[in-house]
C-alpha cells in the first residue's frame, strides 16, 4: 500500500462520519449536508460556513474536512486545522480525531505526537462505541512512537482539557450589582 493511501482512507472515513451526524443548526447545516451528499461542494462549503460561524461544531468539523480535501474550497491544511480546532474545543469527537491526525501527519501544523495523542484520546473518550475502538487504535499507534514521559504529558493535557471543559461556570452577577474592589 502506498504511503498516502492510509491517510486517504482515514480521511474518507472521517467524511462518512461527519456527513452522517444530525443537524444542530437545522437550516444551513442540513442544507449543507444535502448539498455535500449531491456532490455540490461549493454550495455545501458556503452553507457549512454559515453554520460554522454561528458556532455549530459539526459544521466546523465538516468545513475543516472540506479544506483538508479541497472540496468546494481551495485545499488548505491550515484552514482545516483552524476549523477542526474550533469544533474539537467544543467536544466534537470526530473533529478531535481529525485534528489528532493532522498533528500526527504534520498537515497544517508541525508534527506533534503529544498533541496527536491528546486529541485522539479525547476523541475516543467522547466517541460512540463503534468509533471508540478505532480511535483508540489510532491513539495507540501514535503512542508507539512516543516515550513514556510524552505519553504521560499527553494524558495530562487531555485530563486538564476535560477538567477545564467540565468546570462549572459562575453565574452572571445580578442586575445592578456593584463590583467589589479587593484593594479597598
- For every residue of the chain, DSSP letters joined together read --THHHHHHHHHHHHHHHHTSPPSSHHHHHHHHHHHHHT-HHHHHHHHHHHHHTT-HHHHHHHHHHHHHTSSS---HHHHHHHHHHHHHTT-HHHHHHHHHHHHHTSSS---HHHHHHHHHHHHHHS-HHHHHHHHHHHHHHHTTS-HHHHHHHHHHHHHHHHHHHSPPPPPPPTTPPPP-TT-
State the cell numbers at 36.
455535500
What CATH number is attached to the domain comprising 68? 1.25.40.10
Residue 112 inside a domain? The answer is: yes
Counting the structural domains of the chain, the total is: 1
Residue 129 inside a domain? The answer is: yes
Residue 147 to residue 169: CA distance in whole angstroms: 36
Residue 173 inside a domain? The answer is: no
Provide mean pLDDT across the span 35-42.
96
Provide mean pLDDT across the span 46-54.
95
Higher pLDDT, 173 or 27: 27
Residue 28 inside a domain? The answer is: yes
Residue 178 inside a domain? The answer is: no
Q: pTM of the prediction?
A: 0.77
Contacts of 13 (CB under 8 A, 6+ apart): 134
Domain that holds residue 103: 4-162
| Band (26; pLDDT cuts 50, 70, 90) | low
Residue 46 inside a domain? The answer is: yes
pLDDT tens across 125-180, in order? Answer: 999 998 999 999 999 999 999 999 999 999 999 999 998 888 776 677 677 766 66
Cα dihedral angle (39, 42, 43, 46), rounded to 10 degrees?
140
Residue 174 inside a domain? The answer is: no
Provide mean pLDDT across the span 33-38.
95
| Band (25; pLDDT cuts 50, 70, 90) | very low
pLDDT tens across 54-111, in order? Answer: 999 999 999 999 999 999 999 999 999 999 999 999 999 999 999 999 999 999 999 9
Amino acid at each position: 500500500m502506498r504511503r498516502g493511501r492510509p491517510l486517504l482512507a482515514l480521511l474518507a472515513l472521517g467524511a462518512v462520519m461527519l456527513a452522517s451526524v444530525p443537524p444542530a443548526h437545522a437550516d444551513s447545516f442540513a442544507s449543507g449536508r444535502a448539498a455535500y451528499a449531491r456532490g455540490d461542494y461549493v454550495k455545501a462549503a458556503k452553507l457549512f460556513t454559515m453554520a460554522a460561524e454561528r458556532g455549530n461544531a459539526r459544521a466546523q468539523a465538516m468545513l475543516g474536512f472540506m479544506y483538508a480535501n479541497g472540496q468546494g474550497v481551495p485545499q488548505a491544511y491550515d484552514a482545516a486545522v483552524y476549523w477542526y480546532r474550533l469544533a474539537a474545543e467544543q467536544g466534537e469527537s470526530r473533529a478531535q480525531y481529525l485534528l489528532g491526525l493532522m498533528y500526527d501527519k504534520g498537515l497544517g501544523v508541525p508534527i506533534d505526537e503529544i498533541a496527536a495523542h491528546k486529541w485522539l484520546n479525547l476523541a475516543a473518550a467522547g466517541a460512540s462505541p463503534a468509533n471508540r475502538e478505532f480511535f483508540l487504535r489510532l491513539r495507540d499507534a501514535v503512542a508507539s512512537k512516543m516515550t513514556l514521559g510524552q505519553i504521560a504529558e499527553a494524558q495530562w493535557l487531555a485530563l486538564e482539557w476535560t477538567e477545564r471543559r467540565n468546570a462549572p461556570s459562575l453565574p452572571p452577577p445580578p442586575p445592578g450589582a456593584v463590583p467589589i474592589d479587593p484593594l479597598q
